[in-house]
């Protein structure tokens, strides 16, 4: 637990979140930026889904119960939007994605989140005779997605949920995808629920294979964005290395690259500053996210450079370009990695393509 408390303090000092009473977390500027990138990454997941409008009005907690959601008005409205606005996708199997706010965050054993929270919901409408097959496939896909975002993929596990005695396992299934932080506790990052809908004349779709009209079974995935964001930030901080750094997935890092100018000759300082500004323009134009502020750090002291690189590590910045007077002479610079803390030599002509290729993989 002490290790996790140190992570809380490090992330708070770096401006990702602040800790209030009862370990309730509130996202700050860097944390909100990371949450926004995670949200965009979720939107790109399962790209064939029909994307519906964001529900701005807070949803009624009664309507988001684990198995009662098919009776909610929100679910019915979303189904009607699918049929009306996305007729080509109104076949089994199909996917619906929608977002809605919830005033009451889900509690977990490790921390709470200050509400309201944003729910990222995916509804998978599937053929009833293949429902369990789709459910197991979705479990596997979701777990792999979380593992790819993690600095420690072994944290994630699928946990079956106990059903009430009056629920038939053939009609209802539920699992949680949880991430573990040892003795400190676990956090549920995604909930998957299967509900077999019966005898509902207003809820029918044609089978994409046979054309026969069927009553879809619904598999719902719910991700609480703020809770998942805090869990991934803790994951990136809790890595057991000797020194503090934040090992965020490089695609989701709020800032992907920084530029550090090391001056040793005052006569060339203006030229070096101009080169730094040029590199900043090139990286911005390429769509790479530069570190906060100007994105450009200058120093004449090697110890100041080392301190700056430690700060960029705690912000989760994957790479820093280090330029000096040698760069002015031959175009060579250092590309320093957050993960390895090693630097490789690249040429100015490799920027930005070399970096873009790294972030694509």
Residue 120 phi, psi dihedral angles, 5° rounding: -100, 110
**Predicted confidence (pLDDT) at residue 63 exceeds the cutoff of 90:** no
**Residue 5 corresponds to which tokens in the numbers above?**
């408390």
Residue whose tokens read 């590590």: 313
CATH number for the domain running over 1-238: 3.30.930.10
Asked whether 354 and 346 are in contact (CB, 8 A), the reply is yes
**Predicted confidence (pLDDT) at residue 19 exceeds the cutoff of 90:** no
Q: In angstroms, rounded to a whole number, what is the distance separating the alpha carbons of residues 72 and 55?
A: 14
Closest CA to 54 of 78, 82, 35: 78
What pLDDT digit, counting tens, does each position of 113-151 carry? Answer: 987 899 999 999 999 999 999 999 999 999 999 999 999
Q: What is the pLDDT of residue 248?
A: 94
Q: In angstroms, rounded to a whole number, what is the distance separating the alpha carbons of residues 128 and 114?
A: 38
Strand partners, 228: none
Residue whose tokens read 């200050």: 114
**Predicted confidence (pLDDT) at residue 283 exceeds the cutoff of 70:** yes
Q: What is the mean pLDDT of residues 145-163?
A: 95
Q: What count of other Cβ atoms lies within 10 Å of the Cβ of residue 134?
A: 18
What pLDDT digit, counting tens, does each position of 237-256 carry? Answer: 998 776 679 999 999 999 99
> pLDDT band at residue 89, thresholds of 50, 70 and 90?
very high
Q: In angstroms, rounded to a whole number, what is the distance separating the alpha carbons of residues 226 and 31?
A: 9
In terms of CATH architecture, what is 257-360?
3-Layer(aba) Sandwich (3.40)
What pLDDT digit, counting tens, does each position of 169-185 carry? Answer: 999 999 999 999 988 89
What is the gyration radius of the CA atoms in the chain, in angstroms? 24
Q: For all residues of the chain together, what is the average pLDDT?
A: 90
Q: What is the pLDDT of residue 56?
A: 58
What pLDDT digit, counting tens, does each position of 216-231 carry? Answer: 999 999 999 999 999 9
Q: What is the mean pLDDT of residues 50-55?
A: 80
Residue extents of the structural domains in the chain: 1-238, 257-360
Distance of CA 285 to the CA centre of its chain: 24
Look at the chain and count its residues.
361
Q: In angstroms, rounded to a whole number, what is the distance separating the alpha carbons of residues 309 and 338?
A: 8
How is residue 28 annotated by DSSP? -
């Amino acid at each position: 637990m002490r290790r996790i408390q140190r992570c809380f303090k490090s992330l708070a000092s770096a401006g990702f979140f602040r800790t209030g009473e009862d370990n309730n977390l509130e996202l700050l500027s860097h944390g909100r930026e990371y949450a926004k990138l995670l949200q965009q990454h979720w939107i790109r997941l399962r790209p064939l889904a029909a994307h519906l409008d964001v529900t701005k009005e807070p949803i009624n907690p009664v309507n988001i119960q684990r198995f009662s959601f098919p009776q909610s008005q929100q679910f019915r409205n979303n189904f009607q939007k699918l049929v009306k606005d996305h007729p080509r996708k109104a076949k089994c199997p199909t996917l619906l994605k929608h977002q809605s706010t919830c005033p009451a965050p889900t509690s977990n054993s490790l921390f709470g989140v200050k509400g309201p929270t944003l729910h990222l919901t995916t509804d998978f409408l599937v053929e009833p005779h293949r429902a369990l097959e789709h459910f197991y496939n979705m479990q596997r896909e979701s777990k792999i997605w979380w593992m790819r975002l993690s600095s420690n993929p072994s944290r994630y596990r699928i946990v079956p949920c106990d059903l009430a005695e009056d629920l038939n396992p053939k009609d209802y299934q539920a699992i949680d995808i949880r991430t573990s932080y040892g003795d400190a506790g676990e956090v549920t990052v995604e909930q998957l629920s299967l509900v077999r809908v019966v005898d509902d004349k207003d809820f029918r779709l044609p089978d994409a294979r046979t054309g026969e009209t069927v009553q879809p079974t619904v598999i719902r995935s719910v991700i609480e964005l703020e809770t998942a964001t805090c869990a991934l930030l803790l994951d990136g901080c809790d890595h057991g290395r000797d020194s503090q750094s934040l090992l965020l997935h490089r695609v989701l890092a709020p800032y992907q690259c920084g530029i550090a100018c090391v001056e040793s000759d005052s006569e060339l300082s203006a030229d070096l500053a101009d080169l730094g500004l040029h590199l900043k323009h090139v990286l911005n134009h390429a769509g790479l996210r530069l570190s906060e502020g100007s994105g450009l750090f200058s120093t004449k002291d090697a110890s100041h450079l080392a301190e700056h690189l430690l700060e960029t590590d705690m912000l989760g910045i994957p790479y820093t370009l280090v330029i000096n007077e040698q760069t002015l002479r031959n175009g060579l610079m250092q590309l320093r990695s957050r993960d390895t803390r090693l630097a490789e030599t690249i040429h100015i002509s490799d920027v930005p393509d070399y970096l873009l290729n790294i972030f694509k993989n």
